Amino acid sequence: MIRYCLMFLPCLLLAACSLGNDKSNDFGAGVVSAVKSSVAARQAAPAPNVAVQMTRAQLNGITEPLIRTKTEKTGQISLLYIAQRNGNTQVWFAPDRVSFTLRAGLIVQTKGLGDDIYATDAPAVSALLERRGGTGPTRRIIRRLDGANAQNVHVFDCTLTDRGPDSVTVLGTIFSARHYEEACSNAEQSFANDYWIDAKSVLRASRQWIGEDYGTLFMERLID
């Protein structure tokens, strides 16, 4: 069973930190409001020294789609909400003004990280996540912009493998899922991405490599 160590979220708002244990709905609403307010003001959320252990009950009544992420190399944990939609492509924002563009759950663009992804072409993974493709050898092309606004193109040879039935625990809820692995390499780099697709065809959890500076981004879909 896959279990993520993403049980602690930095407090996004001092007011949210002060709520009592019996006000779970207020807590959840405060967290979502804090994320949106920080993004709208184009300001990073306060950098508190308190971590709040989230539970499923604390998000009861929240209908906003939410994703929680943890960056491998920095350990930063963020809560993301959808700011823009275009079909199955969604732009998700974090309080620190970083954004991730996801296509059916696949990270295709990042902004605000520094060494950002300008575009990602991973046709086999896209087809898999959209339930219209299978596994096997494939390629992944990642385009980045340098300081002169020129594109650096990175091509990887990959193999997409079905690892079989698995389960993933997200905020105390166990989801039955199917685990897929995408192993990629070129002459300079190698990495492996993991995708857990649940019984509702939702990408419930994933590990996706976003670059040398940050490593892998762990993602959990908290609310659909």
Domain segments of the chain as ranges: 2-223
Least confident of 4-8, 21-25, 65-69, 206-210: 4-8
Distance, in Å, from the CA atom of 99 to the CA atom of 7, rounded to the nearest integer, reads 22
- Give yes or no for a contact between 170 and 220, defined as CB atoms under 8 angstroms apart: yes
pLDDT score for 34? 58
How far CA 125 is from CA of 79, 142, 178, 179, in Å, comes to 24, 13, 14, 13
pLDDT score for 33? 65
Least confident of 8-17, 60-69, 204-213: 8-17
Domain covering 2-223 in this structure, CATH number: 2.40.360.10
pLDDT score for 62? 79
pLDDT score for 100? 97
Distance, in Å, from the CA atom of 54 to the CA atom of 162, rounded to the nearest integer, reads 31
pLDDT score for 27? 47
Burial label, 5 (beta-carbon count in 10 A; 0-12, 13-18, 19+)? exposed
More confident position, 106 or 7: 106
Pairing of β 106-111 and β 117-121: unpaired
User: Mean pLDDT over residues 79-97, rounded?
Assistant: 89
Q: What is the pLDDT of residues 131-187, one digit of tens each?
A: 998 899 999 999 998 877 788 999 999 999 999 999 999 988 999 999 999 999 999
Distance, in Å, from the CA atom of 14 to the CA atom of 170, rounded to the nearest integer, reads 25
User: Mean pLDDT over residues 193-199, rounded?
Assistant: 97
Highest mean pLDDT among 33-37, 66-70, 95-99: 66-70
Distance, in Å, from the CA atom of 43 to the CA atom of 39, rounded to the nearest integer, reads 6
**Tokens 């759950």 appear where?**
105
Structure tokens at 75: 């350990």
Reported as type and span, the H/E element at residue 35 is: helix 24-40
More confident position, 86 or 41: 86
